Structure 1
Amino acid sequence: MISERSGQPKLAGLSFGLLGPIKVWSRGEELEVGAPRQRGVLALLLLSEGRQVSIDEIVRALWGLDAPRSAVVTTRTYVSRLRRILTDDEAEIRSAGRGYQLIVDPRTVDLSVFRQTTSAVREARERRLVPEASRLSRDALALWRGPALDGLGGPFFEGRRTWLERLRATAMEDRWALDIEQGNCGEAIAELTLATAAEPYRERLWELLMWAFDRDGRQEDALSAYQRIARLLDDDLGLDPGPGLRRMYARIGTAAGASLA
């Protein structure tokens, strides 16, 4: 099983890691999973969540359009090797039609635990259990060990990595919002300042930064942040701030007695 608190496997059975380099642990000890394409087979089967994956799908994911004639035989070799690694009763790679499916307990896969925990965060927020939601949010993010599917290349895995990183970004935004709701504005301001510098066109980050400044009693800094992102969007992209930013500016500006020119 995966521990939500630490992002590390508990000392029982097999555990699988997709949120970082591809990893397999057996009772807390890391197993050698093989070369990158062999790890890619394991990642694809885990991402499929028990669905049958055809050999053709696996070949396309591993080699794209440039698959060698030996790709099918090589894929079967990778599966055979993975079967020898995954000898625990908790995991089984089954032959299914002209393909395979991996049967595992979702609680042993860090991605499944992450998605389940972020769902619990939303439920806790809906019930206004902010401290509980905040704890769960930090638990979910602690599962990440680096970029998702790290070490796997090619269009298929790049696309899945982009999707997973978006899930992570949303979870980070939720965590900052929860910090601000609880009045933990100092840490949120420091992290959001770095985040807006790294991704200057993500308006949600600026909106959260403005909110954190406002909750911290720094209304002038909040309004200044709005002016910075408005100028950046106009100069670089020819765009106006979106509705979320405008609403935040209007609310803070009205409360501060600012003129909304």
Structure 2
Amino acid sequence: MYVHILGPLRATVDDRPVTLGGRRTQTVLAALALEADWAVSVDGLVEAVWGSCPPASARTQIRICVSTLRRAFALAGAPGTIETHSYGYRLRLGPHDLDAAVFESGMERSRLLAGSGRRAEAVLELRNALALWDGPVLAGQTSRALDPGIRRLEELRIRAIEERLELELALGRHGDVIGELLALTATYPFREQLHGQLMLALHLAGRTAEALAAYRRVRVTLVEELGIEPGPRLRDLERSILLGECLSA
């Protein structure tokens, strides 16, 4: 079985979709998938489905949801995927059976490749990992109890993007990433690393005035929105550009 959470929740067996049932059943699967291979308590599943105001029958309904998922997985050819533990349930998946796990493995391989100087291969590894994403994590799920796991993965996604762009710049591909960085800095106005990468890419492309303008924009955003100055890395980068120092990624 393969479970997709980097986008709308889906499950497939041999590339055939598994019918996952209604909203509550899907929320139970989402909560289990975010903690794949770890047991999730029944109380945790109750909170995921109903928040702080569960009905008296909540624990019984959770058992029904789990039974529904087990039946669907068994019919699709993947029996035994959900295990019962003393206080809850565990979604048993291998390292290649969850897109989020495959994504994180790709990030780890990329870092090993980059650390050994194989930057082009590291970029390719990150591109493949990022291609697994099909939208926001568990798009369409509204349970607030899932937010910590969702935020963790979303943070990993933007870090993977930043690491890929850092490698692209180190490979001399500054002209190729400017457009992407312009879009990313608009989407993530407080990510100083992205702004620094944009400044460096513009400067290396001979667009120094635009690089300095990019610094002024992020400084205004940080001061007006958060009441803070840019960090030392951005300030040092601006100073180096103003002084005409030789810069590289």
Q: CA deviation at 1:256?
A: 5.3
Q: Write the distance in 1 (CA, Å) between the matches of 2:80 and 2:215.
A: 51
Quick check: 2:113–2:121 contact (8 Å CA) kept in 1?
Answer: yes
SS at match of 1:173: helix
The 1:52/1:233 distance shift into structure 2, 3 A limit, reads: closer
**CA RMSD, Structure 1 to Structure 2 (Å):** 1.8
TM (normalized to structure 2)?
0.91
Contact 1:18 1:148 in 2 (8 A): yes
Give the deviation of 1:70 after TM superposition. Answer: 1.4
Distance 1:92 1:168 in 2: 27
Give the partner amino acid of 2:3.
F
Amino acid across the alignment from 2:194: L
1:97 partner SS:
coil
Correspondence 1:215 to 2:204? yes
Q: Summarize the alignment of residues 81-230 of structure 1 with structure 2, pairs less than 5 Å apart.
A: 81-87=68-74, 88-89=77-78, 92-230=81-219
SS of the residue aligned with 2:96? helix
What does residue 237 of structure 2 align with? Answer: 248
Moved more, 130-139 or 221-230: 221-230
Q: Is the 8 A contact 2:70 2:79 kept in 1?
A: no
Query: Distance in 2 between the 1:236 and 1:26 partners?
Result: 47
Q: Which one is further off, 198-207 or 87-96?
A: 87-96
Runs of at least 5 residues in structure 2 that lack an aligned partner in the other structure: none
Q: How far did residue 185 of structure 1 move?
A: 2.1
Change (3 A) 1:98 1:237: closer
CA offsets per residue over residues 22-69 of structure 1, 9 Å max, x none? 101111122211112211211222222212222111101211111111
Instruction: Name the SS for the 2:134 alignment partner.
Output: coil
Residue 228 (structure 2) aligned to one of 197, 220, 239: 239
Superposed displacement of residue 219, structure 1: 2.2
Opposite residue 21 of structure 1, the aligned amino acid is P
Instruction: Label 1:31 to 1:127 Cα distance change in 2 as closer, same or farther (>3 A).
Output: same
| 2:13 alignment counterpart | 26
How many angstroms apart in 1 are the aligned matches of 2:224 and 2:13? 53
CA distance in 2, matches of 1:104, 1:84: 17
The residue that corresponds to 1:80 in the other structure is: 67
Tell me if structure 1 keeps the 8 A contact 2:119–2:171: yes
Normalising by structure 1, we get a TM-score of 0.87
User: 2:40, 2:175 → 1: CA distance?
Assistant: 47
Aligned partner of 1:17 in structure 2 is: 4
Aligned residue pairs, count: 244
| 8 Å CA contact 1:20, 1:150 repeated in 2 | yes
Match for 1:53: what amino acid? V
Question: Matched residue of 1:94: which SS?
Answer: strand
Paired residue for 1:10? Answer: none
| Contact 1:91–1:102 (CA under 8 A) maintained in structure 2 | no
Q: Distance in 2 between matches of 1:99 and 1:236?
A: 43
> Structure 2 CA distance, aligned partners of 1:54 and 1:233?
41
Which 10-residue stretch deviates more, 210-219 or 22-31? Answer: 210-219
Runs of 4+ in 1 over 4 A off after TM superposition: none
Contact 1:233 1:240 in 2 (8 A): yes
Shift of 1:144: 0.3
How many angstroms apart in 2 are the aligned matches of 1:22 and 1:237? 35
Distance 1:104 1:233, change over 3 A: closer
Q: 1:255 & 1:127 partners in 2: Cα distance?
A: 31
Q: CA deviation at 1:90?
A: 7.2
Which residue of 16, 19, 34 corresponds with 1:47?
Answer: 34
Identity of aligned residues (%): 35
- Would you say the 8 A contact 1:219–1:256 is kept in 2? no
- CA drift of 1:101 comes to 1.3
Deviation at 1:75? 0.6
- Report the Cα offset of residue 89 of structure 1: 4.5
